[in-house]
Amino acid sequence: MTNIQVEMDCQVLVKALKGTEADLAPEGLLFREIRHFARLNFGNVSFSFAPRACNKLAHALAAYGAGHEASGETWSEDLPDDAAVRLASVLAEPV
């Protein structure tokens, strides 16, 4: 992966990661480390805002991953059944 887009529902965090104005804040070191990690590991990373309602699917997928032990498994086509059921329920919810 060389180009990734990171969407989040916190405009303050997007601004902190896109610029350097917040680098002097108590959390500034963390913002710099995130940008440095992104530059080292990916060709191009962009940070953008997406309303929480538009991120429901990402939240559900992250929750699914957080509840399972890391295995290095990747999905190129079909999701595991339990993940597919959870994601289908999120997609059925009104935005």
Q: Assign 62 a pLDDT band (cuts: 50, 70, 90).
A: confident
Distance (Å, rounded) from C-alpha 66 to C-alpha 60? 10
Q: Are 59 and 21 in contact (CB under 8 A)?
A: no
Residues 45 and 60 in one domain: no
Domain that residue 17 falls in: 3-50
Rounded to the nearest integer, the mean pLDDT of the chain is: 85
Residue 95 pLDDT: 63
Asked if residue 84 has pLDDT above 70, the reply is: yes
Residues 66 and 30 in one domain: no
Residues 46 and 75 in one domain: no
Rounded to an integer, the average pLDDT of 52-68 is 78
Cα torsion angle, 53, 56, 47, 24, sign: positive
Question: Alpha carbon of 12 to those of 17, 35, 64, 89: distances in Å?
Answer: 9, 15, 26, 30
Model pTM score:
0.64
Residues 42 and 65 in one domain: no
Number of domains in the chain: 2
Residues 12 and 33 in one domain: yes
Asked if residue 27 has pLDDT above 80, the reply is: yes
Asked if residue 19 has pLDDT above 80, the reply is: yes
Residues 41 and 69 in one domain: no
Residues 7 and 40 in one domain: yes
Q: Are 14 and 8 in contact (CB under 8 A)?
A: yes
